[in-house]
Amino acid sequence: MESALARPISFPLAPPHGRDAPRRRSREAFANNAPAPLGLARGDVLFAVGARARGPFRLLEGTFMISRTLPGARRQILDIAGPGRLIGFCAGARQDCDAVALTPAKVLPLGAAGSAQSEAMLAEIARLRDLAALLGRKTAIERLATFLLQMMGEDFRAGGRLEMPVSRQDIADHLGLVTETVSRNFLALKELGALKRAGREDVIILDIALLQKLAAGIAPENHCVD
């Protein structure tokens, strides 16, 4: 899968505010001034390192890869975000990571969202702490099982096809593993009866409860850990 940041999108300019604008506006006028969703194609850049911060954004459709380039041209995938997630939080005036659409996507710019932004920021901090624990304490198969559960979401049912908009290399970069380890552990999950292949990247999830046990560190004796 291509990881190059190819097509940065442009943002519409905010409408000017007149000095003598009336204090009260109709519901229709307010709705007209509300931010409109932005459509992106696969490979489009929502934001990039060093760009002026414009977030956060609510992801309405599609999947995004959030990444950072480390010294030596090493890439660390920080997150793979799907619909419903909020992305683009930034402590400073400039973005400190890149966000690239892995699929056609639609996002809603939130701007200064007040208290809702604070709540979402706390949730994002919690996710980053979970990721730190994932990378620092879990075995390879535990990391992979956790990743698959996150990709499934709450409404996923056993027997369903889990579409994977990322490659094995992308998953390895995200989980702090090498590609061969990811492939071996996909095979281990298949042998354990947790999933089966469905095409080049997609999988059919057969046993969600088993994945949950694996993610929690409760694993059969024959699971792969390296």
CB-based contact 64:80 (threshold 8 Å): yes
Region 10-134: CATH code:
2.60.120.10
Work out the average pLDDT over 120-140. 74
Structure tokens at 112: 């200064």
CATH topology of domain 139-215: Arc Repressor Mutant, subunit A (1.10.10)
Please tell me the chain's helix, strand, coil percentages from 3-state DSSP, rounded to the nearest 5: 30, 20, 45
What does the pLDDT read at residue 180? 96
CB-based contact 87:55 (threshold 8 Å): yes
What does the pLDDT read at residue 226? 59
pLDDT cut 90: percent of the chain above it: 42
pLDDT digits (tens, 9 = 90+) for 19-55: 444 444 444 444 455 678 999 999 999 999 899 988 7
Q: How confident is the model at residue 88 (pLDDT cuts 50, 70, 90)?
A: confident
What does the pLDDT read at residue 59? 94
Strands (DSSP E) contained in the chain are: 7-8, 38-40, 44-47, 57-61, 64-70, 74-81, 86-87, 98-101, 105-109, 161-162, 195-197, 203-205
Q: Where are the domains of the chain?
A: 10-134, 139-215
pLDDT cut 70: percent of the chain above it: 75
CB atoms closer than 10 angstroms to residue 76: 14
Angle at 164 between CA 163 and CA 170, to 5 degrees: 175
Q: pLDDT averaged over the chain?
A: 80
Compute the distance between CA of residue 168 and CA of residue 171 in angstroms, rounded to an integer.
5
Work out the average pLDDT over 190-210. 94
Spatial CA neighbour of 1 closest among 100, 134, 107: 100
What does the pLDDT read at residue 110? 85
pLDDT digits (tens, 9 = 90+) for 131-175: 776 676 788 999 999 999 988 887 899 999 999 999 999 999 989
HSE at residue 36, side-chain half, CA atoms within 13 A, is: 10
CB-based contact 96:90 (threshold 8 Å): yes
Q: How confident is the model at residue 10 (pLDDT cuts 50, 70, 90)?
A: low
Between residues 218 and 142, the one the model is more confident about: 142
CB-based contact 104:41 (threshold 8 Å): yes
Q: How confident is the model at residue 99 (pLDDT cuts 50, 70, 90)?
A: very high
Q: Is the pLDDT of residue 63 over 60?
A: yes
